[in-house]
Structure 1
Amino acid sequence: MAEPLVLLPGMMCDARVWATQLTVLSYERPVTVAPVGVGDRIEEIASELLSCLPSKFALCGHGMGGAVALELTRRAPERVIRLALIGTNPLSDTPQEAADREPRMIGAKSGRFESLLEQDVLPRHVGSGPLRSEATAELKEMAMSLGADVFARQERAMQRRRDQQSTLRRIIQPTLILAGEEDQIVPLKRQEFLAELIPYAKLGVLNGVGHTVMLEDPEGTTEALYTWMRQPLVLR
């Protein structure tokens, strides 16, 4: 049987964000969606996941899930067979980025979570493509299901994340970097930089979509992951 695939959702997301990929990719292999809201730090989340994930697995993370995927790869590279990073920032927060998270955390915890989502968070997560409205609605539904406390905890974890540039240079697994052309959360230039630091990484760009490519271009995302899963494990 093909190696199992572990999918890590981004902030505010759960298994629903991977619906299309789960449907298609599970025809050939076991597919698991692991939660990323189980700790206050990226390192803590990774530690919890390593205790329950398969001994070896393919790993795909989106956004915050990508940050967790990099930490898993740093800690247990022998267990990660191949790696895909979608909308992932490998750097730690700048002082300004860290400061910008504070009012969002305060707003979420002070009863303004829904208005915060609608006015500040969600518009930055989706691009101008034809599925913009549907993607925004799905993101809001997932975020409201998870709640303000999870959102604030995830913001704090991302605010404290480590710089993973040294990890990137040691990655030898077949790696896909998948970016939305209009990503406002992790701009394309940052994801191009990420791809340049990983030996043999392949960069894919989906046009007309933003940060949440799985909802905005589900077919393009699935095709990119399907191709990545069929890459040979020995890269030359």
Structure 2
Amino acid sequence: MFITIDNQDTFIYTAAREIHHHQPSVLFIHGAANDHSVWNMQCRYFSTHGWNALAIDLPGHGQSKGPPLNSISALADWVEKCTKTLNLEQLAIVGHSMGSLIGLELASRKNSLANQIALIGINVPMPVSDQLLETAKKNPKVAYRLMNQYSFSGRAKLGKNDIPGLSMEGVSLKLMNRTQPGVLHADFIACNTYDKGISSAQKINCPSILLLGSQDKMTPASRTKSLRNALPGSLVKVLPGTGHAIMAEQPNQVTECLKNFLVKT
């Protein structure tokens, strides 16, 4: 569906289903240089099991218009406008990578709508090197290849896929190459400059889960200790043999983890 945010067309994937306000809602937020399609399997599952499942395209990503936003706070403000336009009162938030920072910021705010939050592939802080920032600005296609190279585990790079004949790296790179100019650089700036992660986590009162990949080179599970300490009641699930592109490498396991968390907490 399309809605209008800041006078711009905004796309929200709902698995071709209408929103029913008597049902629980789950909002999926994608990461840098991605769009709603990374959540297709999860959206399809929840939309057929009694949930309003919504996966947004952030500004300048996918089918959403408007300039990209280069701060996590601004992106969280924008997502809040989406939830208000849709008249959502309570919802679970699921975010991956940059999307997890947006979710963290949203859930920490006073009068937050979040009643559950799942943070997938997250580090706090989430630094981006000066070299990669410069490459994203001047030669984004090279940055896409570098980013793609570090997003997958060893088995995925060797062609392991539950769907025969489909390359996860190839699909990911094609998705990134559809991104509008300037989007990746803005996304990287947003991740690199967000310095409120721990303080935001300490303000969160709703149930939370960290879903991590054991072979994630971009947001290593080993660097989540401070975040875990800031979320003392949080569940933690580390998927073995999985890189940063968790939903691509382990779609069924991600769906199962989210189902167990969202339905049982």
| One-letter identity of the residue aligned with 2:102 | V
Structure 2 residue 135 is the aligned partner of structure 1 residue 104: yes
How far is 1:77 from its partner? 5.1
1:69-218 paired onto structure 2 within 5 Å: 69-76=103-110, 78-91=112-125, 93=127, 97-108=128-139, 113-118=140-145, 120-129=146-155, 130-131=160-161, 134-218=167-251
| One-letter identity of the residue aligned with 1:214 | M
Q: Percent identity?
A: 21
Q: Deviations over 1:58-114 (max 9, x none)?
A: 000000000111111122453101000000122253xxx442433222333xxxx33
Q: Deviations over 1:91-147 (max 9, x none)?
A: 253xxx442433222333xxxx333322x2111011123239722112112111113
Is the 2:125–2:192 Cα contact (8 Å) retained in structure 1?
A: no
Is the 1:4–1:57 Cα contact (8 Å) retained in structure 2?
A: yes
SS at match of 2:167: helix
How far is 1:193 from its partner? 3.8
| One-letter identity of the residue aligned with 1:39 | L
Aligned equivalents of 1:134, 1:77: Cα separation in 2: 43
Aligned equivalents of 2:45, 2:104: Cα separation in 1: 25
How far is 1:192 from its partner? 4.4
When normalised by structure 2's length, the TM-score is 0.78
Task: Detail structure 1 runs of 4+ shifted over 4 Å in the superposition.
Answer: none
Q: 1:2 to 1:227 in 2, by over 3 A?
A: farther
Aligned equivalents of 2:98, 2:117: Cα separation in 1: 15
More helix by share: 1
Deviates more, 1:189-198 or 1:155-164: 189-198
Aligned equivalents of 2:149, 2:27: Cα separation in 1: 28
The residue number in structure 2 matching 1:12 is 33
Aligned equivalents of 2:178, 2:110: Cα separation in 1: 32
SS at match of 1:146: coil
| One-letter identity of the residue aligned with 1:67 | L
Aligned equivalents of 1:7, 1:167: Cα separation in 2: 19
The runs of 5 or more residues in structure 1 that have no matched partner are: none
Aligned equivalents of 1:13, 1:36: Cα separation in 2: 9
Aligned equivalents of 1:70, 1:220: Cα separation in 2: 22
Q: Deviations over 1:184-209 (max 9, x none)?
A: 11111123442232031000111111
When normalised by structure 1's length, the TM-score is 0.87
SS at match of 2:154: coil
SS at match of 1:230: helix
The residue number in structure 1 matching 2:73 is 43
